[in-house]
Amino acid sequence: MVEVDLNSLTLAIGKGNRAEAVRLTKQAIEAATPPAQVLAAMVAAMDDVGRKFQCNQVFVPEMLIAARAMRESMALLEPLLVKAGIKPEFTAVIGTVQGDLHDIGKNLVAMMWKGANFGVVDLGSNVPAEKFIAAAREHKAKVVGLSALLTTTMPAMKQTVLALKAADLPGLKVVIGGAPITESFAREIGADGFAADAAGAVDTARRLVAAA
């Protein structure tokens, strides 16, 4: 019974049907389903959406709509997760680098990271390197995500990566992305990872943390 409901929850979130997702989450909570199992069903939904996105079976609107269903279901589950001592997989800090006011791509990645059950600290846009360092330290982040849309702010991205690497933040991984950013640029400036899209940013962050 419980198992079937969780499959339905995964499906409802995947389809972005938030009314159904919220109803099933409430049902699972009332049936005293272990919160970790409910959480796993939600994360499975977003993983599936990410995979379908990468092979053009779903598009950005569906991905965002699914993320909203996840968020609303998660809001119900969160108090139980806290009570059970279940924490996000790890914390990730994200922002657009200094001089760059664009935040659309960054927001999309933040949404997918939340959907993957990372704790996300979103610093917004036009973020100086010191602020990334301070936030990574304060929140004991395992990943920092840097976004840039302009070729003119790519040097700021490089400086931020250098500053993060020079700071005493053992094990911290830096992932970069944005329209002008390439894998080779990531290598060149010493970032740990590159993500071509929001779904890829989930895989990259997980892979880097797992390998750390």
Partner 1 sequence: MSIPSLKIIGERINPGFAKSKAMLDGGDISGLQELARSQTAKGCDYLTINIGDRAERDSGFLVDVIQAVQAVSHLPLSFDYPNRAVQEICLKAWQPAKAQGRKPIVNSISELRWDMLDVLKITAAKVVLMASERMEDGQPVPNETPTEIASTVHRMVHNILSNGYGLGPEDLFVDVSLTPIAMDTNGLVRRAIEAIRLIGADADLRGIHLVVGLSNLGIMLPKVAVDGSPLPVKIESAFLTLTMPHGLDTVLGTPGRDYRILPPDDFVLQGFQQAIALEGFDTLERVRRLYQRDEG
Query: Contact 194/182 with Cβ under 8 angstroms?
Result: yes
Phi, psi at 104, each rounded to 5° = -65, -50
Give the shortest CB-126-to-partner 1 separation in angstroms: 7
Give me 1's structure tokens.
């019974």
> Which listed residue (43, 97, 108, 169) binds partner 1 by CB under 8 A?
108
Neighbours of 152 (CB within 10 A): 11
Q: Output 29 or 150, the one with its CB closest to partner 1.
A: 150
Does residue 11 bind partner 1 (CB under 8 A)?
A: no
Nearest Cα residue to 48 out of 35, 38, 63: 63
Q: Output 11 or 29, the one with its CB closest to partner 1.
A: 11
Q: Which amino acid is at 121?
A: V
The count of chain residues that interact with partner 1, using the rule CB under 8 A, is 22
The DSSP 8-state label assigned to residue 127 in this structure reads B
Does residue 64 bind partner 1 (CB under 8 A)?
A: yes
What would the x/- binding string for partner 1 be over residues 17 to 56, using CB under 8 A? ---------------------------------------x
CA 99 – CA 101 distance, rounded (Å): 7
Percentages of the chain per state (helix, strand, coil), in multiples of 5: 60, 10, 25
Does residue 150 bind partner 1 (CB under 8 A)?
A: yes
> Which listed residue (19, 75, 84, 104) binds partner 1 by CB under 8 A?
104
Does residue 130 bind partner 1 (CB under 8 A)?
A: no
Does residue 10 bind partner 1 (CB under 8 A)?
A: no
* Tokens 């993500």 found at: 195
> Which listed residue (84, 101, 162, 196) binds partner 1 by CB under 8 A?
101
Q: Which amino acid is at 101?
A: L
The DSSP 8-state label assigned to residue 70 in this structure reads H
Give the shortest CB-73-to-partner 1 separation in angstroms: 15
Binding site for partner 1 (CB under 8 A): 56, 59-62, 64-65, 68, 99, 101, 104, 108, 125-126, 150-152, 154-155, 179-180, 185
